[in-house]
Amino acid sequence: MSKVIENPRSGCVLHGALQTVQEIKGAIPVVHANAGCGVINQLVDSKSTSVASGVSGVGIPGTVAQERHVIFGGASRLREQIKNTAKIINGELFVILNSCESAMVGDDVDAMTREIVEQGEPVVDTLGAGFNGNAYQGYENVLVDILKGIPGIKNVEEEKDTKLINIFGIVPYKDVYWQGNLEEIKRIFEAVGLKVNLFFGTFGGVQDLVDAYKASASIVFSRWGEAPAKFLNDKANIPVLNVDTLPVNVDEEEKLLRSVSQYAEVSEEDVDAFIEQERDYQNSFISQVVAARNKNDLSKRVVIIGDEEQSYRYAKILNDYFAAEVASIVIVDAKAKDELHERNNSDILNDLAEKVYYSQDKKEIEGIIKSSNAELILGSSLEKGLEEKLNIPLLEVSYPIYHSFILNRASVGTRGVLAFVENYESRIEKYEDAEKTSLISSFKSLKAEDKWIDISQRGIVSKDLSASRRKQLYN
């Protein structure tokens, strides 16, 4: 019996592939689907779009398949669309994204791609149908397919660049701070003389996909980067370094850089110097964090809802900085272990949290939060309703975020984590101030003739207020 999922947040393969390609500078997605597939992508992400490729939403080239293209096949319509797109958009790479309908109809997209490549256009295709999986798989699939196609349309250098590193596993949009996080990773590696292929955003681009073949190593920061790294390992013998999460403090930065030095040319002295500088920077703020902890009780009982890498990362930060209790972690993007990936973080996650769940259903998540006695929710905007219903403050850190404008804010590395610390402290302070204010105002409303029993029944002094009563009092 199938199970109902309320508020699914993982999207489909096409959705993920589209989000991925539109953030590669110079790459132009061409969607072979009906019009809605492209438009819905814009609707779900209109709050956080940066769009390095220059095309997004209704501007995305697409075949806008009609019924006749389903019945008679849509390959010739696709040919027409690619040719027209290449005429009016100056792309370094055109990426044809297949859809559910073209996959079911069986359009020979590969043949169409070969035909256009023979005519001199830089085109690759990805055959994943939307129903093949979620958006995270879309990111992996499209990267593998693009990397497969690159040697056929670009000049790929075989000689390795001993200072170049591929960065995989930071999924555009699904990591809401992806742009800032990529920049932070770039900052860390460049500080010790290394270069990075980020692929996405301001500092990425099509050339990174070409240069990926000459990198000294691929670093994989989440399970969703395993497939492209494995592909490059098979094809170009590029070693793979799997790390658990993006770095959350100077110690993890150091560990990362020391691990990479096994594969890439990096001077130990440079690493030492950089780490010392980072440690000084981080420590300079620690006293302020301690002061904040003295002012407010920051060691809250927390429920984290997000994708695997982020949840793991935030749990570590909460432990490190605030001695917070992680009551539950709800992973929305993955199972503990799947057949396609090597990663299995269940033991580490179980060490960090009392309970670990794998779900994206709103109702189930609500039940988990209720049963956890949490004082704070780290989640997405989809938990906003629960914040109000359960009167537990929410800090929005995971996908999707509707109530915050994010450009290049990071949440990793020494700088990114400090930004998270600011947000965490601010959210708690704001909530507790509001609670104090409303409590004071409730007391002020008391009249001399009020009897204690009435006051008690009105719930003003009870710690155990019902959600509706709290709302009535505090809003």
- The reply on whether position 72 binds other proteins by CB under 8 A is yes
| Stretch of 48-56, 103-111, 359-367, 383-391 lying at the interface with other proteins (CB under 8 A) | 103-111
- The reply on whether position 131 binds other proteins by CB under 8 A is no
Nearer to other proteins, 75 or 150 (CB): 75
H-assigned helices in 191-240: 206-211, 226-236
> How far is it, in rounded angstroms, from Cα 64 to Cα 42?
15
Closest CA to 27 of 62, 54, 59: 54
Closest CA to 185 of 243, 224, 139, 235: 243
Q: Where are the beta strands (DSSP E) in 261-352?
A: 301-306, 325-331
- The reply on whether position 111 binds other proteins by CB under 8 A is no
The encoded tokens of residue 135 equal 């958006």
- The reply on whether position 57 binds other proteins by CB under 8 A is no
Nearer to other proteins, 105 or 236 (CB): 105
> How far is it, in rounded angstroms, from Cα 433 to Cα 296?
10
We find the least distance from the C-beta atom of residue 69 to other proteins, in angstroms, to be: 8
Q: Residue 272: which residues within 8 A CB-CB, separation 6 or more?
A: none
We find the least distance from the C-beta atom of residue 115 to other proteins, in angstroms, to be: 15
Could you tell me the end-to-end alpha-carbon distance of the chain, in angstroms, rounded to an integer? 42
We find the least distance from the C-beta atom of residue 113 to other proteins, in angstroms, to be: 17
- The reply on whether position 71 binds other proteins by CB under 8 A is yes
- The reply on whether position 105 binds other proteins by CB under 8 A is yes
> How far is it, in rounded angstroms, from Cα 207 to Cα 151?
12
Applying CB under 8 A, among 104, 111, 286, 290 the residue interacting with other proteins is 104
We find the least distance from the C-beta atom of residue 30 to other proteins, in angstroms, to be: 20
> How far is it, in rounded angstroms, from Cα 128 to Cα 141?
7
Nearer to other proteins, 75 or 256 (CB): 75
We find the least distance from the C-beta atom of residue 110 to other proteins, in angstroms, to be: 14
| Stretch of 100-108, 220-228, 273-281, 298-306 lying at the interface with other proteins (CB under 8 A) | 100-108
- The reply on whether position 73 binds other proteins by CB under 8 A is yes
- The reply on whether position 75 binds other proteins by CB under 8 A is yes
> How far is it, in rounded angstroms, from Cα 341 to Cα 338?
6
Nearer to other proteins, 108 or 338 (CB): 108
Is 74 in a helix, a strand, or coil? Answer: coil
Q: Which residues bind to other proteins, rule: CB under 8 A?
A: 67-75, 104-106
